[in-house]
Amino acid sequence: MLPCLGRKWMRLSTRNLKPTWNLINVVDASKTIVRGISGGAETIAKERVDTVVIGAGVVGLAVARELSLRGREVLILDAASSFGTVTSSRNSEVVHAGIYYPPNSLKAKFCVRGRELLYKYCSEYEIPHKKIGKLIVATGSSEIPKLDLLMHLGTQNRVSGLRMLEGFEAMRMEPQLRCVKALLSPESGILDTHSFMLSLVGEAQNNHATFSYNTVVLNGRVEEKKMHLYVADTRFSESRCEAEAQLELIPNLVVNSAGLGAQALAKRLHGLDHRFVPSSHYARGCYFTLSGIKAPPFNKLVYPIPEEGGLGVHVTVDLNGLVKFGPDVEWIECTDDTSSFLNKFDYRVNPQRSEKFYPEIRKYYPDLKDGSLEPGYSGIRPKLSGPKQSPADFVIQGEETHGVPGLVNLFGIESPGLTSSLAIAEHIANKFLR
């Protein structure tokens, strides 16, 4: 892909840099074996580019689209063979209202603003979606104070339409439900995430953005107040114990939207003080689908009271009528940065995890039948806080924080990242474009 990238970018660029393909060695400061650029006479190809977005998940795509709409010449790099193959395709596909997050946090601001932008975008571009509403339920009297707190948070975050319901009112809406009290959020909904991402890709390409898949950013360095990125073909680098850079990119602006690998990538950028790279924590969440039913048991989203690390094992109904329960929270260890950098996570769903799902689901759906849960899929949350720690906010860093010109880092973009994606893109364009 890299030779093609070099030729394609030359056609789009106003500069006419002739690429060469002689590969030589340097050692990466992260102490993993990576090859890049030497200061000697023999060099690899160099390309000056305007803007590079690293990561073609839903947030990276939204950023690329927004920047291209504002006249920037954008190059999107992703190590996978297509867009949205990791966290963006392994979630609940829910449009969140903005209830759960501390007032004035980035999660609260971006979720509320992002929801407005997302519904507008879906309507304008005919992305399948539906504002079906959500019930957050208390299944015992001890949970009612937590439900009251969520109502308070949502109100402070200016989420419209929130209403506290007695148990009988909620069960009148959803006859299969059992609860003592519920918080109704009419602004919550569902969407077809793949269609949304596909539309973002098309919009970016219509504004002259270029996508390069199977392309990994090995490392980078700051030179003369510009970030230099060394990239290679993912398939080539994974087939060898040592990866050789095949192209040096010299962009004016770099947006690190690498998701699960954002911190690992940041540590490979020479000149960025590691003090500004937060620690990484990973929480796997499994989903199980409901089988043996003629119709979904619920019309709305049904969420329990949030748990540590997540929003609880909730029920969602997608646009095709498939009923999903999840995700749970399983804290996992990532032994080294290379594993997260190359997305070397185990996404298999252990069928035995359903044994923990049944009792949790039956708290609000007592008619769930034995044997009706089938393994679905799993996803990994890129978290900035670990077990027994308070939830962390999104982190969006620019030069004013870390001192590196033209570098924007996005860390910990977990839920509500999908809902927030267009708002995050708007924020980056407003704040960091010069």
Nearest CA-CA partner of 112 in 141, 77, 145, 155: 155
Q: Measure the CA–CA gap between 91 and 397, rounded to whole angstroms.
A: 25
What residue has token string 């924590």? Answer: 281
Give the pLDDT of residue 11: 34
* pLDDT attached to residue 6: 47
Tokens 């803007």 locate to: 51
Which pLDDT belongs to residue 244? 85
Instruction: Report the alpha-carbon angle 194-352-305, nearest 5.
Output: 65
pLDDT value of position 44: 85
Low-confidence ranges of the chain (pLDDT < 70): 1-42, 236-243, 335-342
Tell me the pLDDT tens digit for each residue of 152-195.
999 999 999 999 999 999 999 999 999 999 999 999 999 999 99
What gap in Å lies between CA 393 and CA 382, rounded to an integer? 12
Instruction: Spell 274-285 as b/e; 16+ CB within 10 A means b.
Output: eeebbebbbbbb
Question: Please, what are the domains in the chain?
Answer: 45-88+195-279+393-433 (3.50.50.60)
pTM of the model: 0.90
CA distances from 29 to 234, 265, 270, 387 (A): 20, 12, 7, 30
